[in-house]
Amino acid sequence: MTNLLGIYPKAVLNNRFFLLKNILFILCLLCSSFLAWNYFGFFFIFNFTLFFYIINRASDLTFWRYFITILILLFLWHFGGLFWMFKIEDGVYGFFMNLIIYTIPFTVFYTLKKYFKTTTLFFIPLWLLFEAFLFNTNFSFPWLVLGNLFSNQVYLIQWYEYCGVLGGSLWILSLSYILFNCFILKKKQILFLVLLLIIPVFFSSFLSQSKNKAKGNEVYKIVTYNNMFNKNIWEKDKLAYHILSIIDSSATYTALVIPEQTFRGFDSKNMKSRLAYHYFKKAINKKRFKTLFIGSTGYINKDTLVNSCIIITDTILYKKVKKKLIPFTEYIPPLFYPLFIKKFYRPDVKDDLKNIVQKLNIMPLICYEAFFPNYVSNNIGNANYIFLISSEKFMNNNTFALKQYDNIVRLRAIENRTILLKASNYGWSFITDPYGKILDKKNNELNYFKLTQNNIGETTYRKWGNKATLPFIFIFLLLSFLKKI
């Protein structure tokens, strides 16, 4: 039997008391991961302090003993945060694939430490580069990026407007590293630990209190639709008629927002000839709505299936294609298509996102795209609003999955200081202020919201994206060559 830390002889393992203590230790790590990802992110500092203990001893362990120990710790991390994935479509495949991917930085570090004697501190910039890689590849699952831990406590991380979620990852890593130095290596760094803990918290409080929360006088009335209450499986024309018929026809709204995949097969070359399109266009012409956002799917040609948002105005029809797709469930690299019967969505299709942002002052996001902060910052331009259309049907109404999703997407509002509207199928629809605070939250077939004008302006992260963390990565690379740190 291989014990958790991988360093004790077999004679010790035969001690029942030791085995019991090891089991309790594993349960504590599992509980701290669960609590961190669902309630209070700081609990995870204890998990990552143990990671630093293991990688610090990498040169003393055989590769397989090191690898199995890291794999156990990663499994506890993943299961504590993503246990709900075992009950969703293809969730088991995604869970274990992500687990394997997360071994990469640990394996790279082992090799560098074994042959080049790199310091333990070097792991921090290595991990930040790994997370940056996750944000810049199509086949990834960045749900467990460390900076997402604080999505439960947005009052602590208002400074994400400067460095984004990677700054939160750096905070967790730095706190864990100094805690490792203080309590395992017995270095006198308590003052650094305290300062690193309280300075970001006070800075976040300062930003919340002193930031110019400028609001204009104009109020925008928005309606969102939730298809989970529709027990009839209607085809597109009847569904369009139903939605428009249950909305008060005497009122005028800025937008009707229909969530992801509500109108399957609607996006096609002959879309304008559909009766559903004419229903929507007639509602626009009658001034019932200024703009319609319609979550749809469809084949734009024989072999190209897209997940999209169709945007209808009085003069122009726009299309936004989902560029970030969930691995296995929605996307695999085209090279592997012959191995699967099912059809997958394609992200490599041109759309009108740039024109949408410029003309409407709104950045539309489709579900999983909200997990990629660099994608948002690279495309948001001068938009003051994010409209997120999502479908959480695949989560099977799991409370923890739904809560994690809603918390993480709020980080995009903080990073870009925008008002965020989320319109959901099988989940909660809500609006946040530019500080990530949920102002109104509803879960009805029709949900009515009022948005105020947002005049806060550009943030450092919106301008630079993940490049804002490059100076910190460079500094830690330099520091990692100093043996005494």
Considering the domain delimited by 215-455, tell me its CATH architecture. Answer: 4-Layer Sandwich (3.60)
What local confidence, expressed as pLDDT, does residue 32 receive?
93
pLDDT value for 1: 38
Is residue 253 within 8 A of residue 446, CB to CB? The reply is: no
Q: How far apart are CA 7 and CA 62, in angstroms?
A: 10
Q: Does residue 4 sit in helix, strand or coil?
A: coil
Backbone angles phi, psi at 54, to 5 degrees: -70, -50
At which residue do the structure tokens 């331009």 appear? 381
Domain ranges of the chain: 10-211+466-479, 215-455
- From 165, 56, 66, select the one nearest 121 (Cα to Cα): 56
Residue 268 has pLDDT above 80, yes or no: no
Q: How far apart are CA 273 and CA 247, in angstroms?
A: 24
- The pLDDT score that the predictor gives to residue 455 is 64
Phi, psi of 222 (to 5 degrees): -120, 140
- Percentage of the chain modeled with pLDDT above 70: 92
Q: What is the pLDDT of residue 55?
A: 94
Q: Is the pLDDT of residue 301 over 90?
A: no
Q: Nearest to residue 467, comparing CAs of 365, 380, 377, 363?
A: 377
Neighbour count for residue 311 (Cβ, 10 Å): 24
CB contact at 8 A, 145 and 83: no
**H helix or E strand, kind and range, residue 255:** strand 253-263
Q: What residue has token string 């043996």? A: 483
User: Residue type for 357, please?
Assistant: V
Residue with tokens 């660099």: 374
**What's the CA gap between 118 and 323, in Å, rounded?**
38
Highest-confidence segment of 29-38, 111-120, 214-223:
29-38
Comparing CA positions, the residue from 376, 473, 391, 468 lying closest to residue 425 is 391
Q: What is the pLDDT of residues 135-194, one digit of tens each?
A: 998 888 899 999 999 999 999 999 999 999 999 999 999 999 999 999 888 888 899 889
Residue 314 token pair? 């009085």
